[in-house]
Amino acid sequence: MKLSIILLKQVSQFRFSNYIPTRRIPGNILIGKHRVRRSLTQGEKQDMKQRIEIELENMAHLSRPYLTEAEDNLYENDPIRKEHEEKVLALKRREEEIPKHIYLKRDLLDRVACWDTLYEGELNNFNEFGDEGEIWFGKSILSKLVDNVCQLVTDKENTTILDIGTGNGHVIQRLLARGYTHLTGIDYSENSIDLARKQIGSNVKFQVIDMTSSDTSSLLDHYDIGIDKGTLDAILLCAPDQRKAKRDAYIDTVYRHIKNLLFIVSCNWTRSELLEFFQPKFSLEREVDTPTMMFGGRQGKTVTFLILKRNN
């Protein structure tokens, strides 16, 4: 019994290959020139065959164009795509029709011819496309200005307001919308006045007047409130040697015609510079907060907004 178990064990361990004579040399047979390669299993061969089949299928797909001819024609005649392309073309054509933007030269900004050219362009744009034109210092400053007028000037029906250097009349437009009735806009550019009249209509008085001319008494009325958004800035862009004379002439005119408050918004002058210009004829009633910025480690304002009171 014991012998038979031993024999059985030996038979189960018996490997024929051990007894088949081969020309293999003894020793390490995994590397070197006598290396013996392991034969592939049936499963590995099957797996390789499947991979080759997948690869062939991929190559067949890739060698064909993405769309068939019929699909390609469908794309060509697609109405949605055609409509989109027509819209893009129309937009491009419209852009080409818009007159080129006119850039102002800084040293010309105090000359009426320059403003006339600018407003001629804006007038054309308004006539053709209904474009409302440039909003100086942006919408938020315009809203701030109008909000502050509304806060301080509550008698909307009796207070007279003068918009000094009215430009395209945006300030007047906003004040009209808030219920103010006695509004006047003046500017020394005739094209500006044409444009403002066209945008606003005849219920507002507009006049062509130069704020730096020596005597405006016979031309201009007296107003409770004056508003200047960017006009003194434009006037003081003149040659440096004319600056003081122009500034004094402007402040004299404002003092002659404004009885109470002057709302002034400037991008070129600081609070202290403006106060120095206007004293002793006007003094500070309020400074309105405007956006600040850092430059060279110092904080400053992009726009100064002061409300000045006329001293009697």
Ligand X SMILES: C[S@@+](CC[C@H](N)C(=O)[O-])C[C@H]1O[C@@H](n2cnc3c(N)ncnc32)[C@H](O)[C@@H]1O
Interacting residues with ligand X (CB under 6 A): 115, 136, 165-168, 170-171, 187-189, 192, 210-212, 229-231, 234-235
Instruction: State the DSSP code for 267.
Output: S
Instruction: Please report which helix (H) or strand (E) contains residue 172, including its range.
Output: helix 170-177
Cα gap 190→168, rounded to integer Å = 11
User: What is residue 13's three-state secondary structure?
Assistant: helix
From the number of C-beta atoms within 10 Å of its C-beta (0-12, 13-18, 19+), residue 229 rates as buried
**Choice between 161 and 211, CB closer to ligand X:** 211
Q: How far is the CB of 254 from ligand X (least distance, A)?
A: 11
Q: How far is the CB of 110 from ligand X (least distance, A)?
A: 6
**Choice between 153 and 220, CB closer to ligand X:** 220
Q: How far is the CB of 109 from ligand X (least distance, A)?
A: 8
**Choice between 143 and 311, CB closer to ligand X:** 143
Q: How far is the CB of 108 from ligand X (least distance, A)?
A: 11
**Choice between 211 and 306, CB closer to ligand X:** 211
Peptide bond into 280 cis (omega under 30): yes
**Choice between 165 and 226, CB closer to ligand X:** 165
The DSSP-derived string for 64-113 is S-SS-HHHHHHHHT-HHHHHHHHHHHHHHHHHHHSPPPPPPPGGGTTSHH
**Choice between 234 and 303, CB closer to ligand X:** 234
Q: How far is the CB of 90 from ligand X (least distance, A)?
A: 31
In sequence order, the 6+-apart residues with CB closer than 8 A to the CB of 86 are none
Q: How far is the CB of 234 from ligand X (least distance, A)?
A: 4
Residue 220 burial (CB count, 10 A): 18
